[in-house]
Structure formats: C-alpha cells, structure tokens
Amino acid sequence: MSLLLLILGLIVLVISGDWLVRCASSLAIRASIPPVIVGLTIVSIGTSAPEVIASVRAALEGNPGIAIGNVIGSNIANIALILGIAALVQPLVVTRSIIRSDWPVLMIASLLFAGFAWDGALEKWEGGILCAGTVVMLIMLHFRTRKSQENEGSDAFDLGVEPPLEKPLVWLFAGIGISSAGLYFGSEWFIAGARDLALQAGVSDHVIGLTAVAFGTSIPELVASVVAALKRESDIVLGNLIGSNIFNIFLAVGVSSSILELPVDPRAISDDFWWMLAVAAILLPMMLHRRLVHRWKGLILVATYGVYIALVVSQA
C-alpha cells in the first residue's frame, strides 16, 4: 500500500507540475508578458516543482531527512544517472556558455549548500540566502538571454516555452487551480508513502530521500533529457539538468530551511555532500575534453551512480 501511495503521489506530482507550467505560461503570454521572461521564470522553476514541493512538504511534516536527502540525491542523479543516460543515447555537444556561466553557478550553489549544512543544521537565515540566490540566478539568465537574442536573434520558444494553449481564460485559470491542488495532494501522498516505506524497511528517512524520493522527483528530467538527446539538442539536456540542480538548492532547500530550521543527518555531512560535490566537479573536465560528453563518459557517470546507490543501500 505504501509503494502504491508513493507511485500515485509521484504520478500526480509530475502531471500537475507539467500542467501548471503549461497553463501559467499560456496565461502569461496572453497577458503580453515576454516569452523570454516566462521561460526564465515559470518554466525554469516549474521543472523543479516536484523536488520543491516534496522537500517543503517533508520539512513541514517533520521529515527533514527526506527534504535534504531528496535534493542531494536528485542532484547526484541528475548528473551521474540522467546526464549519463542521455550521453549514452547521443554524445552531447557542450557550448561555451555552459562552461563559463552555468557550471560555476552550480558549484557556488553546491558549496553554499554544503557549507551551510556543515554545522549540522540549516538555519532560517541561511535558507533566506539560498532563496535570494534564485533571484540573482534569474536576473543573470534574463540579461544573458537578452544579449543572446540581440546577437543571434533567437526565438523565445527555443528557451523551452511551449506555444500557448488555445483555451479560454476561464479554462486556464481552472487548470492552474486544479494543478495546484494536484501538487498539494500529490506531495502529501508521495511523502506519506516514502515515510511508511522507510519505517517498514527499517531505514532512515534520509536514505529514502536519497534513493526513492530523489529518483522519483527526477523522472521529469530523465524523460525530457532523453527526448532532447534523441533530437540532438545537447544544450537543452545540459542546461536543463544543471539549471534543475541549481534551482533544487536555491528553491527546494532555500524555501524549506527559511520556513524552519532543518537538522542535517551526520551521514549526509560525512558522505553524501562529498558525492554531490564530486559529481558536480567531475563534470567540468568531462565537458572541457573536446567540448563533448562522449558515450564512454556517460558510461562512467552511470557506473558512478550505481556505485553510490550500492554504498547507500549497504550502509542502510
């Protein structure tokens, strides 16, 4: 029953997050808000909605291990597992902007997250700083995109903004309301299932957060990345995964810890944060080498994730 509740909650979360983004994007474009702003705000943050909702909900319900473990596990899975699988499907070309801008922001966010957690707790003021990182990130993306459009005349929909839904305004507002409700109840079922599984398996909620919850909330990124790789859209794969990791830290951790102080599991400090930082760091030399993430690099990443999960399970 707990597993069914976990799966049902995940399905509702993914579907609700997707429809919330589509309805909100369509409404914003109808209101003459530039599509570039929609892409950099609603769509970018929307891809991290499952992680954000699941982490905030877990924190509020007294399961900080799931809240923090979810973000650490998702960030490791996004690069080691999902990027690895995408590279196995199709070698990924690396653009200069990803190396110069996106990857450094990812490392700064990761180091901030680990540094704040190093004393065993994430305090409210630290969560506030992480939340502020979201604003800084969006401002940077806005100016970078404007410059790119001026230089290359890129289309706004290249940023991941789907064409607006041709539906009445009442339909869009109803879609936003129903999707928001879906996120609420989906997160409730998802966290309840994860918590019950942890109790039944006799492991901590931190381990469940690192494994089941982290993998579940990363499924949207997995599907999107494989589809983009098949279409040979390397910049979308890398940008989506690196951007998702950044927003996972700034939003999921930032919002959760700004609401209430979150204790950090000692094993996260001694083991998991090091894995998260190492996976993010190893990505740079992989991207610099011939500006291509080859299939053999993807195999190394997937194998790394397998080793990490094996260690987590054996220690549990």
In tens, the pLDDT along 274-292 reads: 999 999 999 999 999 999 9
Q: Average the pLDDT over 160-182 and give the result.
A: 75
- pLDDT at position 25, please? 65
- pLDDT at position 40, please? 45
- Could you give the CA distance from residue 51 to residue 67 in angstroms, rounded to a whole number? 9
Rounded (to 5) percent helix, strand, coil in the chain: 85, 5, 15
Average pLDDT, the chain: 82
Contacts of 87 (CB under 8 A, 6+ apart): 229, 293, 294, 295, 297, 298, 301
Contacts of 233 (CB under 8 A, 6+ apart): none
Q: Is the pTM of this model over 0.85?
A: no
Q: What are residue 162's phi and psi, to 5 degrees?
A: -75, 155
Structure tokens at 294: 């080859």
Grade residue 254 by pLDDT with cuts at 50, 70 and 90. very high
Report how many helices (DSSP H) and strands (DSSP E) the chain contains, helices first.
18, 4
**Contact yes or no for 94/293 (Cβ under 8 A):** yes
258 membership: H or E segment, kind and range: helix 254-259
Give the least confident one: 172-186, 201-215, 217-231, 277-291: 217-231
Residue 166 burial (10 A CB sphere; 0-12, 13-18, 19+): exposed
Q: Does 41 have pLDDT greater than 90?
A: no
Domains annotated for the chain, with CATH where assigned, are: 2-315 (1.20.1420.30)
Structure tokens at 255: 């919002």
- pLDDT at position 299, please? 97
- pLDDT at position 39, please? 47
- pLDDT at position 107, please? 97
